[in-house]
Amino acid sequence: MKFKLIALLIGVSTLGQSQSITLEDIWASGKFRPQYVYGLRSMNDGLNYTELINDRGGEQTIIKTAYADATQQAPILSSGDLAGTPNPKNGALRIEGYTFSGDEKKIMIRTGTESIYRHSTREWNYVVDVETKGIKLVSEQKIRYASFNPSGNQVAFVRDNNVYVSNLENGSEIQVTSDGENNQIINGATDWVYEEEFAFDKAFFWSPNGKKIAYYRFMEGGVREFNMPYYKGGLYPEDYKFKYPKAGEDNSRVSIFIYDLESKKTSMVEIKDYYIPRIKWSKSDDYLTITGMNRHQNNLKLYWVNANTMETKVILEEQNDTYIDIHDNLTFLSDNKSFVWTSEIGGYNHLYLYSNLGQKKSQITKGDWEVTKVYGLNEKSGVVYFEAAKESPMQREVYSVKVSGSSLNKLSPNTGTNSASFSKGFKYFINYHSTAKTPYYISVHDAKGKEIRVMKDNQTLKELIGQYATASHEFLQVPGADGTLLNSWMIKPKNFDADKKYPVLMFVYGGPGSQTVKDSWGSSNYLWYQMLADKGYIVVSVDNRGTGARGEQFKKMTYLQLGKYETEDQIAAAQWLGKQGYVDASRIGIWGWSYGGYMSSLCLFKGADVFKMAMAVAPVTNWKFYDTIYTERYMQTPEENSGYEENSPINHVEKLKGKYLLIHGTGDDNVHFQNSVEMVAALQKANKQFDLMIYPDRNHGIYGGNTRLHLYNMMTDYVMENL
């Protein structure tokens, strides 16, 4: 069977240094932390941006800088301006985030931020007058999602599951909703599963002129509760309960309301769809768009809602034999009837122009490649700016194209992975570039792609890494179970000898639309793999069938069978590796986190004669334990699909021959610790020996304090002792 080696060998250190990377270097000292640009906001003039600067003395400053000339700078607000401000937490007021009002005369400061779940937070919010530096606390309690209205004289927010509006001029407060109740009704914020799987948590939106607010209401009463004990070193654990709908169970009942600030009238939009993953105002206060989906997520409707009469009509509908991914790529033109939209209806994700409210469409981009992100539309010039995997699924480029489909131009100059942040008006963009061997190179470009200046080049970090015993990084393609060539990367020891036989550690994620094989900076894990290579291991990652940027057919072929084909591909890749003269076929291991933990478990059990060991961090062990939206998108419900049991690693534990390390945090609100408890029970029932590490109260990310250092120390030892 043939395989293809892509001609891309990346960076062998040629200086001959003998320094070795340590776990403390990676996870404790911050030695390899790259420079980046944080808190950046484009200003209305499109010529300047702001960023939050934290100096070593603790001083914080929001600075305005010209895109074209970094020497043209001016401070807008500093922490010194906030000195003496009463802080409800009785400490110094730290700027943890900020937003401008529409006229840029006020700044909203976020401080005392408290995480709820992966994205959601509550915090104190202050409004600062840019000119006078006068400051006001928005609410005497911590609140969520404080947002200026377009004119900047009001702030809407969520408190105690209700929506409020505060008048900044007279201090009055309007309570828009009053029925919010913990674990029963949420107004203006999402429930757990919408936040996690539809990727938004703020669930209210000002209309363009600020006369109306559209908001979600989640009725959680019928959703079953999940409880987690938090130990926290006390005599009795705290029992935390929250609504979490597992596959096949009831979801929240979701409704959309529109509140009119002048009439104080609230109206409900009458639509019957099971999910409402998006709402968005059109170009006016008169019309709102709502995206609705059925429970199987294979039928999508885009509704046009008259915000005055509540009349609705469908302006776009898509159906699919498998599922439809949700996106934020809806942009209305000024006629308020035409819009740009992305879709996979042609087999690859591309841009489309709809006119007359969806009645006509034309395809803007075409080809066997994927649009991966839309940055926006400059209607004045008729140009759409977007990111794509056009040159390779393993790379990303920034492009522009006319709405007509002509004049497709690549704007990012360097091969690798690029992403962009455009100025208002699209005169400039900041390009973030990296490759597998080089950390971020951040530069300012004009709208045609010409580089104007460099913001961060991470040259110091590159030189530092060059002082260590770094190894080669190769991109290649290896055959999957059905012969499909799969994108892969391989890191070999620096002094690699093809006549020797090396052990191999594979890294897998493998979930729908994901990628681990990209020409981009791999950060801490990349450095860990370099450390393992320095100790004599080959490290490999393979993007199995079902992963992203290779078209709809490649991605969706795992539908209803999560785990089956992905595992077959990983096992086939390991078998191919074992046939290479430089690999010790008796010493191949695999590890992964979350979906990757699910995969590494399945691979070890189903591929018992191929893999010697596996490490599974926070794994799903049966999809029936995971949430409705993610799981049913790919699997339908447990009642409809036997694939839940057929591809659960729990049901294959009797095949275990090698070493198995199971790792989980007890405070994981995402992939519940229950998954690992059920795995432990199955292994014990089958009389199979295994290793287990528990991280008390840690969530899905397993971090905080020395946790990551401990985790990677343990995994490193496990690799060296068992592979």
Q: Which of 684, 694, 690 is nearest to 663 (CA)?
A: 694
User: Could you say which DSSP state residue 649 is in?
Assistant: G
How far apart (Å, rounded) are the C-alpha atoms in residues 184 and 197?
20
Q: Are 99 and 111 in contact (CB under 8 A)?
A: no
- What single-letter amino acid sits at 68? A
* DSSP calls for 279-338: EEE-SSTTEEEEEEE-TTS-EEEEEEEETTT--EEEEEEEE-SS--------EE-TTSS-
Q: Are 694 and 702 in contact (CB under 8 A)?
A: no
Residue whose tokens read 């404080």: 146
Q: Are 506 and 491 in contact (CB under 8 A)?
A: no
Note the pTM of the prediction, 2 decimals: 0.95
- 336-360 pLDDT, tens digit each: 999 999 999 999 999 999 999 999 9
127 Cβ contact list (under 8 Å, min separation 6): 106, 107, 108, 109, 135, 136, 138, 155, 168
Q: Which of 308, 311, 216 is nearest to 260 (CA)?
A: 308
How far apart (Å, rounded) are the C-alpha atoms in residues 172 and 634?
48
331-332: strand order across its sheet: 331-332, 339-343, 350-355, 360-363
pLDDT of residue 663: 98
At the fourth CATH level, the homologous superfamily of domain 4-30+462-722 is Alpha/Beta hydrolase fold, catalytic domain (3.40.50.1820)
135-137: strand order across its sheet: 97-100, 106-115, 121-129, 135-137
**Options 79, 147, 423, 594, the catalytic residue:** 594
How far apart (Å, rounded) are the C-alpha atoms in residues 576 and 16?
32
How far apart (Å, rounded) are the C-alpha atoms in residues 6 and 123?
49
Residue 594 annotated to the active site: yes
* DSSP calls for 49-80: EEEEEE-TTS-EEEEEEESS-TT-EEEEEEGG
How far apart (Å, rounded) are the C-alpha atoms in residues 388 and 410?
10
Residue 668 annotated to the active site: yes
Q: Are 319 and 332 in contact (CB under 8 A)?
A: no
Q: Which of 132, 87, 139 is nearest to 107 (CA)?
A: 132
Surface-to-core class of residue 440, CB atoms within 10 Å of its CB (0-12 exposed, 13-18 middle, 19+ buried)? buried
- What single-letter amino acid sits at 510? G
User: Could you say which DSSP state residue 414 is in?
Assistant: S
What residues form DSSP beta bridges with 542? Answer: 488
How far apart (Å, rounded) are the C-alpha atoms in residues 101 and 113?
20
User: Longest C-alpha distance within the chain, in Å?
Assistant: 81
Q: Which segments of the chain have a pLDDT < 50?
A: 1-17
pLDDT of residue 199: 97
* DSSP calls for 418-479: EEEEEPTTSSEEEEEEE-SSS--EEEEEETT--EEEEEE--HHHHHHHTTB----EEEEEEE
> Pairing between strand 583-593 and 502-507?
parallel
pLDDT of residue 88: 54
Q: Which of 580, 584, 589, 585 is nearest to 612 (CA)?
A: 589
> Pairing between strand 659-665 and 613-617?
parallel
Q: Which of 196, 324, 197, 186 is nearest to 252 (CA)?
A: 186
Q: Crossing angle of helices 564-578/595-606, nearest 10°?
A: 60
**Options 325, 519, 627, 668, the catalytic residue:** 668
**Options 433, 473, 664, 700, the catalytic residue:** 700
Q: Where are the domains of the chain?
A: 4-30+462-722
Q: Are 695 and 665 in contact (CB under 8 A)?
A: yes
